[in-house]
């Protein structure tokens, strides 16, 4: 960088010359790239929530899966109700596609936070997801 005093470069001989400012085009491109990266990360989190094997689920979740496959009876009246996916953590599907089931939590006086959400017909589910934090996150259940 030219540091000689000149009326054209604004340098007065005493202070360091200011750093060049990024062009507005560069700043806009950087902002767009940051937004795109954040959007992709959000999309990836929503579309690929991770996986958990049946073998690594808590025993209560495995029991709930067996009840789902056999059609019940379920211990909680809300088991099998439509899950509306308001959190948009699962793939968008038609209303009624997803159903929720309670996974009992030992020593809890309420239903607790653990759930299994399955998609498809009630007795012919095509996909199930486990949430241990009341729908804040889901992991796809795999064999």
Catalytic residues: 100, 134
H or E element in which residue 2 lies? none
Tokens of 66: 């067996």
Tokens of 124: 């012919």
Say if residues 127 and 140 touch (Cβ distance below 8 Å). Answer: yes
- Give phi and psi for 140, each to the nearest 5: -70, 135
């Amino acid at each position: 960088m030219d540091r000689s005093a000149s009326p054209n470069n604004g340098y007065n001989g005493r202070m360091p010359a200011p750093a060049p400012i990024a062009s507005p085009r560069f700043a806009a491109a950087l902002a767009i790239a940051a937004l795109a990266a954040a959007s992709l990360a959000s999309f990836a989190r929503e579309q690929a929530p991770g996986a958990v094997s049946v073998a690594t689920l808590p025993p209560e979740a495995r029991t709930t899966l067996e009840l789902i496959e056999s059609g019940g009876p379920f211990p909680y009246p809300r088991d099998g109700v439509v899950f509306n996916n308001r959190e948009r953590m699962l793939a968008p599907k038609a209303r009624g596609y997803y159903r929720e089931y309670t996974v009992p939590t030992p020593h809890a006086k309420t239903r607790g936070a653990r759930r299994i959400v399955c998609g498809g017909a009630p007795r012919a589910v095509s996909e199930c997801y486990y949430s241990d934090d009341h729908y804040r996150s889901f992991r796809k259940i795999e064999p």
